[in-house]
Chains A and B, each alone.
Chain A
């Protein structure tokens, strides 16, 4: 056997092995997620969010909204936050040195007036230029600061926050009115144990939006965005639910997460040296609490929803995915010492190594694996029949995992009411593995390379803003 042949066969075996491990993990997670979501649904029947809303003992929350050049949707986003139901809250928008009309739009829409706001100096941030309070909404504050990046803006928000918990929300996200009550439920139930929670992110493209609220849930017209709907459902309902149930949730989306303010401040706030500040913070909180031997929980809650706009063009999507992967890689690399360290329990022994293997190494294996096995088959080193049979299995496993996530959604939440939309989601779940998955894997590899090359910057995303309403029935006509 020649060296080339040997190399191709060995790498093909590694690729097959990776495939088996990856899908075995996802299948186990699907089972765990089914149990988790079903339990949550039963619980929800007895304990509605109303209980927390009615209770004068519910602790107040500061909502932090970092904004950089968000003129397209900032007013709608703030409106959606002001419509959030919670006994006591404040909304702090941090304008991170926007060069567009973000601040002007906020000033006009909410009748802002300059005030001298007292701020902690716990976390260092770029200089604050000014603070504003709203004449219309006493609970709204706007902090105007020099540009320092999203993490820096969030740190300024943590410094300005008055209440014991803060909810970080992306400027392009819209919270459902009871989302905060629901995401806060585990903290309200166990304030001594639960230090952070995250909700589900759903895709607003195609939905009918009025005054910062999703009035009618519909699928996007764009196929690319619809593929992302399936992908998000699988990632949140299966992936995050599974990790959460195992006590090792590593990611709380930056678009919607609730944290204990004092803990985040004492742990050093958001890291300004990575684009994955949301992942890095959660990993650091795990590390901080494990090192102090404290009992704690970080939980994913499947029903509180933040709606967000996703890219509808390949360029924006590629930039977004490369940035996400770069952030994940930077965060994991920063905390590499946690991996396989028994001091960190399940988090160190299983979660971090799994992320290294499945999220960093895995995509590279997959991307190299495709041409390798094809070359192996072309050169006659691998059986073509075997390769084709394996490809069919790979596509079917992917389809089953996506369909299981859709079934979870359908049985427990059923957000997409129209039968035609459900059929379209099923079609996308089947089609997702024929091109889209491979493309996102390639972007992830490029993202890891960006991290290794210490590339900076966020990249642009072409946005339409959430205030627009698609023509009624437009998505149904497809």
Chain B
């Protein structure tokens, strides 16, 4: 037994020694690698800038490391430019074979490699990669699907709107990722999002209406207003919130009606929306809701009233039985005046 313990001690001592050596070695290696990276990027930055600006530049012969460093710099620029400059970056990556290289990695058996490739293709402005990235949205690994979604957003891929919404519904993508991808695509995604408002599962409708609220304009209001009478409370609540974001004054009547919805969450959003629209006709209804409703709808109504009419708020807050929410809103308005 003692002999065995001796062997175990030896093994542990060796392991400790190796761990210490690894720590020290890694520190030295990382410091060197960092210096090398900074040097390479510094040296290649003028070439990268020239390429983005469309100057006729002749690249010096690059080794594999420098080639990767240039790609990193250009990928960084690709996130900050658009139009012709972005197209030039895309062309560079295409000409150099980077796009083909990363596309081949989308089929790799290691999930992290597929995710890395999906991520890189978005930074390379590689429109040719859109079909492969759409396919990657159905990858069994969630990280790969998320990386593909982000890249599709960066590439402004309109054809990704519907798959992104359904990938979210099926739990293949985090909501934040799908939403951010569509926000990256921007207002051009709105017509396709409008198509998702009718005859779709409620999760998809909620997602689409949220995004329309953020990316759309007043012309989208009628379609969203219709959803205030949807059978799903989630849909009604998100439609109310979206109408507030759109500043849809024509929805004020319907939103005032939604203040009487039986679901508190819908009433909260209706109050928010009326506050955002600044509907002067809603002051009495908001004051009443702030006085008599449950905590969250009452607080939302008091805040909305503060936005719509500080004068009415001051008057109703000092009346007997005003309740804590109107009192809070009035005090806060005074402190922040």
Residues of A within 8 A of B (CB): 42-43, 45-47, 51-52, 54-58, 113-120, 133-135, 138, 162, 188-191, 383, 385-386, 389-390, 392-393, 396-397, 399-400, 403-404, 406-407, 410-411, 414, 419, 422, 426, 430
Contacts and interface: CB of A to CB of B under 8 A. Distances in A.
27 contacts: A42-B116, A43-B115, A46-B146, A46-B147, A47-B177, A51-B180, A52-B176, A54-B180, A55-B176, A57-B175, A115-B335, A116-B324, A118-B328, A133-B332, A135-B335, A135-B336, A189-B175, A190-B174, A385-B2, A393-B8, A396-B16, A400-B19, A403-B16, A406-B19, A407-B19, A410-B27, A411-B26
A114 B147 CA distance: 48
A189 B176 contact: yes
B308 interface: no
Given A46-B150, A55-B176, A426-B20, A396 B12 contact: yes
A55 B146 CA distance: 15
B327 interface: yes
Interface of B: 1-2, 5-6, 8-9, 12-13, 15-16, 19-20, 22-24, 26-27, 30, 112, 115-116, 119, 143, 146-147, 150, 174-177, 179-180, 183, 210, 214, 295, 298-299, 302, 323-325, 327-328, 331-332, 335-336
Nearest to A430: B16
B115 A42 contact: yes
A277 B146 CA distance: 36
Given A47-B150, A188-B174, A399 B5 contact: no
Contacts of A397: 12
Given A115-B328, A389-B2, A389-B9, A399 B150 contact: no
Contacts of A403: 16, 19-20, 23
A386 B2 contact: yes
B143 A43 contact: yes
Contacts of A385: 2
A430 B214 CA distance: 56
A460 B324 CA distance: 38
Contact of A393 (B5, B299, B327, B331): B5
Nearest to A114: B331
A400 B26 contact: no
Nearest to B120: A46
Given A135-B336, A138-B336, A118 B176 contact: no
B116 A45 contact: yes
B174 to A, nearest CB: 3
A414 B115 CA distance: 24
A393 B327 CA distance: 67
Contact of A386 (B5, B8, B180): B5
B23 A410 contact: yes
10 closest A-B pairs by beta carbon, nearest first, are A189-B174, A396-B12, A118-B324, A115-B331, A389-B5, A403-B19, A116-B327, A188-B176, A46-B119, A118-B328
Contact of B143 (A46, A400, A414): A46
